[in-house]
Amino acid sequence: MSDGITWMGRHQYTPPSGVPGMLGGISLTLARGVETDAFVINLGADPEEMPARTPCKELRVPVGQPGRSSSDLHRAMYGTSGEWSYVLEDWGMATWATGYQGRVESMLPTEGEEIVCLSASRFSPPALIIHAPETRSYQAEFGTDTGQGSAFDAALSAAGAVFPSLPEAGGEEVVAYFEEHGGRLPELVFLAVGSYTGVAIEQEAVMAGDLPGFLVAST
Q: For residue range 57-73, what is the model confidence (pLDDT) as tens digits?
A: 999 876 644 444 445 78
Q: What is the rounded CA–CA span in Å between residue 142 and residue 131?
A: 12
Pair 118, 131: CB distance under 8 Å:
no
Pair 30, 218: CB distance under 8 Å:
no
Looking at residue 1, its pLDDT comes to 38
Task: Tell me the angle at which helices 151-158 and 185-197 cross, rounded to the nearest 10 degrees.
Answer: 140
Question: Phi/psi zone of residue 84: left (φ > 0), alpha (ψ -120 to 50 degrees), beta?
Answer: beta
Pair 31, 84: CB distance under 8 Å:
yes
C-alpha dist (Å) from residue 2 to 9, 81, 118, 119: 12, 13, 19, 21
Q: What is the rounded CA–CA span in Å between residue 190 and residue 5?
A: 6
Residues 141, 188, 101: CA angle, nearest 5 degrees:
30
Q: What is the pLDDT of residues 102-155, one digit of tens each?
A: 778 878 888 999 999 999 998 888 999 999 998 889 999 999 999 999 999 999
Residue 190: closest CA among 35, 26, 73, 56: 26
Q: Output 32 or 100, whichever has higher pLDDT.
A: 32
Alpha helices in 13-60 (DSSP H): 36-42
β-partners of residue 143 are: 162
Q: What is the pLDDT of residues 143-200, one digit of tens each?
A: 999 999 999 999 999 999 998 764 565 577 767 877 877 789 999 999 999 999 999 9
Note the pTM of the prediction, 2 decimals.
0.91
Task: Label residues 104-137 b or e (16+ Cβ within 10 Å = b).
Answer: beebebeeebbbbbbbbbeeeeebbbbbbbeeeb
**How do the domains of the chain map onto residue ranges?**
6-142+199-217
Question: What is the CB neighbour count within 10 angstroms for residue 200?
Answer: 15
Residue 76: closest CA among 63, 64, 89: 89
* Range of lowest pLDDT (17-21, 42-46, 70-74, 132-136): 70-74
